[in-house]
Amino acid sequence: MTASAYEAAVLDFRRRKDEHFAAGRGPVDPAAFAGLSYFPPDEAWAFTVLLDPLPQADAGAEWTLETNTGETRTMTRIGQVQLPLPDGERTLLVFAPLGEERPERVFIPFRDATSGEATYGAGRYLDAPLDRQLGGDGALVRVDFNLAYHPYCAYGDGWTCPLPPRENWLPDAVTAGERLS
């Protein structure tokens, strides 16, 4: 059976990430690195949804995220997305680095029912591309949990990683993306 074009693209993304880490450009010792572990690709965990921007009065609102080291990281909250997950519709807050008025990608940190069991306890991240073809402030976001990844602090000390805000804690088990070995 051949993989679909979608599966092939996800597997290629994962292969390139493993090559990046194996070359010493990641948070792991390349000599001991044997590849990351993932849930099988499943297109049912990929959504293209409307970014619900903040009201104009709140546009560019700063949001402080806690980190694993106790420091804080300030980002811009640019809106939220509604996702049709298997156990019901869920809302996730969407962020961008400070100063990026029209980012091409957004940052979505999240925890789910797999956190601390099959995935890193503090949560995982998504970097989701924006499609501004809608014009104005409207944008579509490609939220693909198959590309969810562990923050670098999952692999060792010495990294400061933002923690998902409580608003981004999902009761659902997201069985997609990077997982513990």
pTM over 0.75: yes
Question: How is residue 150 annotated by DSSP?
Answer: -
**Domain spans, the chain:** 38-179
Task: Return the percentage of the chain with pLDDT > 70, whole number.
Answer: 91
> What is the per-residue pLDDT across 40-52, written as a single tens digit (0 to 9) for each?
999 999 999 999 8
| Strand 37-38 with 178-179, pairing | antiparallel
Number of Cβ within 10 Å of residue 93's Cβ equals 23
The confidence band for 1, taking pLDDT boundaries of 50, 70 and 90, is very low
Mean pLDDT of the chain: 91
On the question of pLDDT at 57 being above 60, the answer is no
